Amino acid sequence: MQKKIIPFILLLSVSWIASFAQTITDKQERDIRIIKDFLLDVADENIRPDLILSKHVRITETSSNEEYDYLEASIDEIRLNLQTKNIQEIAYVPFQSLPKKEVRDIDPEGKPTENMYFLRYKNRQMLAVYIEEGKIASFTLVSKGDKVAHFVTY
């Protein structure tokens, strides 16, 4: 009887791990789709930055016109950066997939790292993105002054 139970438990464990791994993959796929949709709209010069922000960016902490103007200018800067790139060649790298030496200078500040992605083009980092509640909560990674960077949410 015991010999029959052990393979059964092992089978259940393997199927549970496989379903958990699939959930992680599905979440990453959803997040990457959010980022790709954002980039496609940014790359389209016919779409105004304010429309991009309202459609793709979670803005809850930005209260002044200066802060909002900064976000619009940031969209224009990303747009300019994308002009020289083939969007299909951008790699979307989850925080957990980066080598330890590349993330040791990033302070998540309690934010879930599974929502952090680093966009690379030809092995060079071009943008860091933090996803929250199905929208981009930050595309701004800044240094705190002590060489540790963090995401600024809007």
Q: Would you list the DSSP string of 106-135?
A: B--TTS-GGGEEEEEETTEEEEEEEEETTE
- Give percent of the chain with pLDDT exceeding 70: 84
In this model, does residue 45 exceed pLDDT 70?
yes
pLDDT interval class at 39 (50, 70, 90)? very high
Instruction: Supply angle C-alpha 28, 34, 39, rounded to 5.
Output: 125
| pLDDT of res. 146 | 75
Average pLDDT for 4-25: 48
- Enclosing domain of residue 37: 2-151
Average pLDDT, the chain: 88
First to last CA, the chain: 59
In this model, does residue 24 exceed pLDDT 90?
no
| pLDDT of res. 4 | 56
In this model, does residue 71 exceed pLDDT 80?
yes
Q: What is the SS3 assignment for 47? A: coil
**Which of 76, 149, 153, 89 minimizes the C-alpha distance to 119?**
89
User: How many domains does the chain contain in total?
Assistant: 1
Supply the pTM of this predicted model: 0.82
Residues 114 and 132: beta-carbon distance below 8 Å: no
| pLDDT of res. 128 | 97
